[in-house]
Amino acid sequence: MRYGEGELVRSVAGHDKGNYYIILAEDGEYVILVDGISRTMEKPRRKNKKHVQLIHRKGGVPATDEAVRLCIRDYRRENHL
């Protein structure tokens, strides 16, 4: 499966299981993830594609950590998570 920048994913494996992230970039078998809190634009998380689940397709990467936080927060509120 091909993952695109700006898509919302959920971690399904690892110590961060259940956390939501926005894809910043794709790097071979890995995706580069940010959540705007612990994983910022300056310190993104590199995670195997097999360990994330695509939640929502959305184009464009948010430009700031605040925009990433708001995007994740809005999704969680809309879906009562």
Residue 2, domain member (yes or no): no
Model confidence pLDDT, tens digit, residues 38-80: 999 999 999 999 999 999 777 677 789 999 999 999 999 998 8
Residue 12, domain member (yes or no): yes
Residue 30, domain member (yes or no): yes
Residue 29, domain member (yes or no): yes
Question: Residue 49 is part of a domain; what is its CATH number?
Answer: 2.30.30
Between CA 52 and CA 4 the distance in angstroms is 13
How buried is residue 41: exposed, middle or buried, by Cβ count under 10 Å (0-12/13-18/19+)? middle
Using an 8 Å Cβ cutoff, are 51 and 14 in contact? yes
For residues 7-23, average pLDDT: 95
Indicate the number of domains in the chain.
1
What is the domain range of residue 58? Answer: 8-78
Is the pLDDT at 19 greater than 80, yes or no? yes
Residue 34, domain member (yes or no): yes
Residue 56, domain member (yes or no): yes
